[in-house]
Structure 1
Amino acid sequence: MIEFLPLLMFAVICLVLMLGYPVAFSLAGTAMLFAGIGISIGHFDASFLSSLSGRLFGTITNVTLLAVPLFVLMGVLLEKSRLAEDLLSNMAALFGRRRGGLGFSVILVGMLLAASTGIVGATVVTMGLMSLPTMLKRGYSPSLATGTICATGTLGQIIPPSIALVLLGDTLSSAYQQAQLDLGVFSPKTLSVGDLFIGALVPGLLLVVLYLLYMGFVAMTRPESAPAATDLDPPPLMQLLKGLVPPIALILTVLGSILVGAATPTEAAGVGALGAALMAAAKGELNIVRLGEVARETLKVTCMVFMILIGAAVFSLVFRGFGGDDLIQHFFAQLPGGVMTATLIVMLVIFLLGFILDFIEITFVVVPIVGPILLAMGVDPIWLGIMIALNLQTSFLTPPFGFALFYLRGVAPPSVTTSDIYRGVAPYIALQLLMLTLLAIWPSLATWLPSIIRGQ
């Protein structure tokens, strides 16, 4: 029974989080409670906790994680200064007179907004407030409108620059080093957040193309569900360029500097935050009140991320102290089918946990446990990171517990029923599962571009 203490600890933390207790303190508190139990029964070495201070100091001083508040700042600036709203209105006016045009606009703007914010909740709520009333007013079916908004909102998981990819990249980098240490191999090859950004480009853009093809299919086969907005006139060219060029140029600059190796993700995040501030100032939206709102929102998200990270560091240390990693490694080694079966089980567990845990908790709790084991079995770290991101993106859409569904339900009008949202996301879930399957069959979709650019 004692050897199953780490699994019991994992089950308890899932239960505590489902009860609604604060994530960061639940992680650390549960871990320390089990550590105390383990010490009292002589099954946990208290000296194992001596490395905790060094681990926490290394986490807080991690330069890579500095990209988190900077990318959050960039996204909040674009949202609060109404640059995203202008982008949507101009795109809608450009495509709206065509059948499915508003849907195309929402997908494209959602992609850009997801790239700028990187937070699923922020993107879904923003798109829900801006575009859902417009789509319903123009005659779009509630299921198609809500499904499209939820699906595009979750693109923040996979479209770089993404907060999820920053956190995944840092966690998988540590897991990669741990796997090399466990194998006794010291390779100069490393994994960076930039590698994940590059690897996510092709799958992310392919997913957007699948969304657009589905919207076009609906517009052709069910025109009453995606009618043309005949009351929208194409905007003047200068107005269109003024609304579209600055945010697109900002995102391309941030991504381009990473792709060509001119900047690290952290440096590129700084450039993005500065560019968003200059754009907000040029629009006349960067007053002292707005700056205070942006600063508070950025501080709130950043503190949440780092507190969860600290709690997860305590949890993973105690889990390893109980020999939990050895227990899981032994379990995976006994599975028929080897690495393929192990990867499939991990993906299934992450998918199910995505119903009850946010991506931040899964990244900091689950990935450090299973990541070193899968990487030691020969799984490509870039492919694994993109698979996890796509997997979480799918779980956030899946009824009845998908987070994106709750976010949109909170801002949708009473005329939109929960069943409308569930029906609307079903086709997009199928498209995401198709993309996940394609990536599983052809891992080069994620690994080809990084190998070309990085020369690996």
Structure 2
Amino acid sequence: MTDGALGLTQLFLFLIFIMLGFPIAFTLMAMGLFFGYLGMQERIFDLLVQRTYAVMSNDVLISVPLFVLMGYVIERANILDRLFRSLQMASGNIPGSLAVATLATCALFATATGIVGAVVTLMGLLAFPAMLRAGYDVKLAAGVICAGGCLGILIPPSIMLILFGATAGVSVVQLYAAAFIPGVMLAGLYILYAIGIAIVKPSVAPRLPPEEVNVPFGTILLSLLTSFLPLAALIGVVLGSILMGLATPSEAAAMGSLGSILLALVYRSFSWAKLRESVYLTARTSAMVCWLFVGSAIFSSVFGYLGGQELVEQFFKSLPLNTLTFMLLAQALIFVLGWPLEWTEIIVIFVPIFLPLLDDFGVDPLFFGVLVALNLQTSFLSPPVAMAAFYLKGVAPKHVRLEDIFRGCMPFIYIVIFTMVCVYVFPGIVTWLPSYLYDVPQTGGSGADVLAPPTGGFQVDDAPQLPSLN
């Protein structure tokens, strides 16, 4: 067997083991070490040490545990209930007000936590029963919660964008700026869909009774000031300090962690037991991310050393592709991979396969990263994996079928695809804010005109590409 065939066998067997349910991080390391020993002999153990040190000394990844800690502390601050109630009162006269309040709460809370499972679970316990009691269609209510809960992997400060930046060597700050408008746009389209379906089919989203709608303005204002404003201010300070260049993502994450603890103290929901639990969960999540990166670095280095990456590149170059068809093919493959795999596996294993091809087809990795982040929304919503659907099913009433949740997610998948088309046709949605803030050259025309990586501009917390053994 040639080295290239050995590399492709390594990739194929990895997919098989993942489908069987083996832990991804240790599967990556085991496959990398096994095939590396076949192709490199004892040098594979030197590679293991080098890659482990490179990952653990990567400054970009410092922000991951800090943002995770911020999310877990906020999750345990018990502010979700009052936030949902206040937004529900504020949107009482809007068609589909409960769905609108749920999506707005999900967007804000998902941005603060970035943990999809936590947001979907908590909103499944809080908003899902409220919508069902109000007579909402099960499919609409389920789709609203699942789609809204996934926004945290797109809207900054997103952990997924940090991992993409570390993988692709793209500035996390510029990624945040590039993803901000598409993230807000996607959340806005979700809300417009909820309002539109409530107008077209009032039976699926009935209006609330007058006693729940006619709330004095002073009560609504006071409720928003005590629930919405503090959390929005914390997110605004963290994200604003990053985008304005006042702090690196790591420094802003540290401020966010401290702010979340202060917020918990203000709401009188802070305790040492909750803090200890948050720190434990943060350590567990951070360890998973680090080992995932170590395994990915070993796996991808061995894959490249054996010639697997070169075979993939030759295959794509042999196809009659231009920039448009390459982007369509790449996003279609990522979309299909989202059915059986989670976004972490796609980011650390399959996205790096496409990265060396971006220069060949003249695609900016910043633009590509935002499209991938949008695309990965579908990995949480599309069966058979659809983790958001399984999170909701775990807390939903027994009469709610998993099939109903899947069907409820489908319209929101179409909205994601529509947003991707808009971003490709009008790339200024992605490039305008980085261009305005950091002097990054802005691209005109369609996504097919997106140029190679910009040079110069404002670079904070740049993540160098992990060195290759080739």
TM-score (norm 1): 0.91
Return the offset for 1:97: 5.0
Moved more, 335-344 or 267-276: 335-344
Contact 1:211 1:428 (8 Å CA) reproduced: yes
Q: What is the letter of the counterpart of residue 276 of structure 2?
A: G
1:450 positional shift:
0.6
Amino acid at match of 1:397: L
Distance 1:237 1:452 in 2: 34
Which amino acid in structure 2 is aligned with residue 207 of structure 1? L
Q: How does 1:422-437 map to 2 (within 5 A)?
A: 422-437=406-421
Residues 112 and 248 of structure 1 are in contact (CA less than 8 Å); yes or no, is this contact kept in structure 2? yes
CA distance in structure 2 between the aligned counterparts of 1:420 and 1:87, rounded to whole angstroms: 27
Tell whether the 8 Å contact from 1:120 to 1:153 is kept in structure 2 after alignment. yes
The aligned counterpart of 1:183 is: none
Matched residue, 2:36: 35
Q: Does 1:87 align with 2:83?
A: yes
Q: How far, CA to CA, are the matches of 1:248 and 1:431 in structure 2?
A: 25
Matches of 1:139 and 1:79, distance apart in 2? 28
Q: 1 CA distance for matches of 2:29 and 2:47? A: 15
Residue 98 of structure 1 contacts residue 229 of structure 1 at CA under 8 Å; is this kept in 2? no
Offset, 1:85 = 2.4
The residue number in structure 2 matching 1:136 is: 132
Preserved CA contact (<8 Å) 1:194 1:259: yes
Q: Given the alignment of the two structures, is residue 373 of structure 1 paired with residue 353 of structure 2, yes or no?
A: no
Residue by residue, what CA displacement relative to the aligned partner does 1:6-25 show, whole Å, maximum 9, x if unpaired? 12211111111111111111
1:244 aligned residue:
228
1:15 aligns with 2:16: yes
CA distance in 2, matches of 1:222, 1:257: 43
Is 1:342–2:326 an aligned residue pair? yes
Partners of 2:89 and 2:220 within 8 A in 1: no
Greater shift after overlay, 417-426 or 17-26?
Answer: 417-426
1:206 to 185, 192, 207: 185
Hey, what's the Cα distance between the residues in 1 that align with 2:237 and 2:287? 27
For the pair 1:259 / 2:238, whether they are aligned, the reply is no
Following superposition, the deviation at residue 167 of structure 1 comes to 0.7
Match of 1:157 in 2: 153
Q: Comparing 264-273 with 331-340, which one deviates more in the overlay? A: 331-340
Q: Which amino acid aligns with 2:168?
A: L
Equivalent residue for 2:7? 6
Taking the aligned partners of 2:203 and 2:71, their CA distance within structure 1 comes to 35
After superposition, the Cα gap between the structure-2 partners of 1:46 and 1:347, relative to the gap in structure 1 and judged at 3 Å, is farther
| Residue matched to 1:127 | 123
In structure 2, give the amino acid aligned to 1:410: G
Worse-matched range after superposition: 329-338 or 105-114: 329-338
- In 2: Cα distance, 1:269 partner to 1:229 partner: 39
1:109 matches 2:105: yes
CA distance in 1 between partners of 2:332 and 2:18 (Å): 19
Structure 2 letter corresponding to 1:30:
M
CA distance in structure 2 between the aligned counterparts of 1:33 and 1:85, rounded to whole angstroms: 50
Q: For the Cα contact (< 8 Å) 2:155–2:183, is it kept in 1? A: yes
Quick one: distance in 1 between partners of 2:220 and 2:423? 41
Separation (CA, whole Å) in 2 of partners of 1:361 and 1:133: 33
Is the CA contact 1:335–1:342 (under 8 Å) kept in the aligned structure 2? no
Aligned with residue 199 of structure 2, among 211, 215, 220: 220
Decide whether the 8 Å contact of 1:257 with 1:268 is kept in 2. Answer: yes
- For residues 344 and 236 of structure 1, the distance between their equivalents in structure 2, rounded to whole angstroms, comes to 46
Q: What SS does the aligned partner of 2:381 have?
A: coil
Letter in 1 for 2:163: L
Q: Give the letter aligned to residue 27 of structure 2.
A: S
Structure 1 CA distance for aligned equivalents of residues 222 and 428 of structure 2: 41
Could you tell me which amino acid in structure 1 is paired with residue 438 of structure 2?
Answer: R
Shift in Å, 1:335: 1.2
TM-aligned CA deviation for residue 199 of structure 1: 0.3
Which moved further from structure 2: 444-453 or 381-390? 444-453
1:376: Cα distance to partner? 4.6
Deviations 1:123-158 (A, max 9, x none): 222221221111111111111100000111111121
SS of the residue corresponding to residue 452 of structure 1 reads: helix
Distance 1:351 1:64 in 2: 27
Asked if the contact 1:355/1:403 (under 8 Å) is kept, the reply is no
Shift of 1:166: 0.9
Query: How far does the alpha carbon of each residue in 1:186-236 deviate from its partner, in whole angstroms, 9 at most, with x for none?
Result: xxxxx3101110000111111111111111111111112112222436345
2:203 alignment partner, SS class: coil
Q: Determine the structure 2 residue equivalent to 1:329.
A: 313
What one-letter code is carried by the residue in structure 1 that aligns with 2:240?
G
Whole-angstrom CA distance in 2 between matches of 1:272 and 1:393: 25
Per the TM alignment, residue 45 of structure 1 is displaced from its structure 2 partner at its CA by 6.2
| Whole-Å separation in 1 of the counterparts to 2:373 and 2:94 | 33
Query: CA–CA distance in 1 between the matches of 2:45 and 2:352?
Result: 17
Report what 2:64 is aligned to. 68
Distance 2:100 2:145 in 1: 11
1:118 lines up with 2:114 in the alignment: yes
5+ long unaligned stretches in structure 2: 441-470
Q: What is the match of residue 148 of structure 1? A: 144
User: Using the alignment, how far apart are the partners of 2:427 and 2:421 within structure 1?
Assistant: 10
How far apart in 1 are the matches of 2:291 and 2:126? 31
Instruction: Tell me if the contact between 1:342 and 1:374 (Cα under 8 Å) persists in the aligned partners.
Output: no
Question: Is the contact between residue 86 and residue 220 of structure 2 (CA under 8 Å) also seen in structure 1?
Answer: no
Aligned residues: 434
Cα separation, 2, equivalents of 1:374 and 1:51: 26
Other-structure match for 1:229: 208
Hey, what's the Cα distance between the residues in 2 that align with 1:149 and 1:167? Answer: 25
**CA displacement at 1:342 relative to structure 2:** 2.9
How far apart, CA to CA, are the structure 2 residues paired with 1:399 and 1:358?
Answer: 11
Partner residue of 2:347 out of 355, 360, 363: 363
SS state of the match for residue 320, structure 2? coil
Letter in 1 for 2:108: L
